A and B are shown apart, each in its own frame.
Chain A
């Protein structure tokens, strides 16, 4: 389990995470919802140490980390080894082929052999339906294809958790679906994931747990059923706001 306690993150004088505590259970899919600017990305990036909160603690299985203290290279490595991030704009490496995008990290970082990483990369690519694109460059592919490849890149590191920050927000609806189906499969297979999304239908179908963030704090932490069917006025407003926006399209 990942559990963060009392994290405070400031940008200048602005408190973006306000003494926030939350757990992310093993082998489950946690969906983080909330209005934009509420601190979802900051929270997610704190788990992977791309953002350093001023204070708070992270406990990750047997790893313990105090954000207020200097973090050793070893600890940072161990935390990142258990997590892999998937970004809104996928951030593939444009100078590497699709295959190299997936194999470079396990080869360079984990010291695995080329044969092993390539075999695994090809298997992952065929699972996401992109086996024949191994030797292309990212710029030659659509956004949806690139995002599926970035999921393969994350999986190739055998992370305990995959952290996904609005993985489909930059995609057209048809392309979005291909990515969502893959995430649903992973979720069913018991891959632990933490997903920030604005897609309520997807959240409802994939989440084991919902965390609702507003203004740097957790407003709701519970099951999808509670969230969608029995929640507070504020969350009903949020949900109807989203629904209203969808209707307006």
Chain B
């Protein structure tokens, strides 16, 4: 048994470092940027100025459509459309790019709702206090509201990230040689499905556990002002 593990481990780890981790990290970063933009478009009320108001409402309609679309269809189907479907429309993407686009758009849709609800959970009182001190909306967001929202959004966003790491296994179905795909290929040769898939499961668990530790560290950092936390 150990022999099989030791001989297949290098290929598995290579796949993890080459595809699984980069896919997850890059997609999460893009997803998060998209999520913040989408959340702000939905959250901020445009000023009465017509030149700002109407474009903003159009943007908001697009944001609503985007979130609806990606939350109400399966991730695997989204990946298939992007990778196998778009070429029929003349858009040919490499598997990696297709996967990053799919994962980013999917993560962005879910995370935008997390961020929006975190923004909404900061009480109106905080806005009143900032406005009476003459903060602008932007200053209130950056100095007061976002720092409080980050703390609230951190646990659910960590969940999204951990979910994303595991979902990268779906990229195997669009021909990416990520860790799960490699474990399948090795199994095809050594006929040890229980061992190989358990090994893959174990390696996913290792990454996710490390991420959980990172989450706890960040939670402590961002919660130092909360009652009862020792800092």
Which residues does A use to contact B, with CB under 8 Å? 48-50, 70, 77, 80-81, 83-85, 87, 89, 91-97, 104-105, 108-109, 137-140, 153, 157
B78 to chain A, nearest CB (A): 36
User: Per a CB cutoff under 8 Å, which of A48, A89, A138 touches B132?
Assistant: A48
Complex-state Cα separation, A205 to B159, whole angstroms: 57
**Chain B 102-131 interface residues, beta-carbon cutoff 8 Å to A:** 125-126, 128-131
Number of interface residues of B (CB under 8 A): 21
Are B134 and A95 in contact, CB atoms less than 8 angstroms apart? no
**1/0 per position for B132-161, CB-CB distance to A under 8 A?**
111100010001100110010000000000
A53 to chain B, nearest CB (A): 16
Are A50 and B131 in contact, CB atoms less than 8 angstroms apart? yes
Are A137 and B225 in contact, CB atoms less than 8 angstroms apart? yes
Are B131 and A95 in contact, CB atoms less than 8 angstroms apart? no
B203 to chain A, nearest CB (A): 38
Are A80 and B225 in contact, CB atoms less than 8 angstroms apart? no
A94 to chain B, nearest CB (A): 6
16 contacting pairs across A/B (C-beta < 8 A):
A49-B131, A50-B128, A50-B132, A80-B134, A81-B134, A85-B129, A87-B129, A93-B130, A94-B226, A95-B225, A96-B144, A109-B134, A137-B224, A139-B226, A140-B227, A153-B133
CB-CB under 8 A from A81, the residues of chain B are: 134
Answer yes or no: B45 CB below 8 A from chain A CBs: no
B13 to chain A, nearest CB (A): 40
For the complex with contacts A93-B144, A95-B225, 16 further pairs of A-B residues with Cβ separation under 8 Å are A49-B131, A50-B128, A50-B132, A80-B132, A81-B134, A84-B133, A87-B125, A87-B129, A94-B226, A95-B148, A96-B144, A96-B225, A97-B225, A138-B225, A140-B227, A153-B133
Considering the complex, give the chain B residue whose CB is closest to the CB of A105: B133
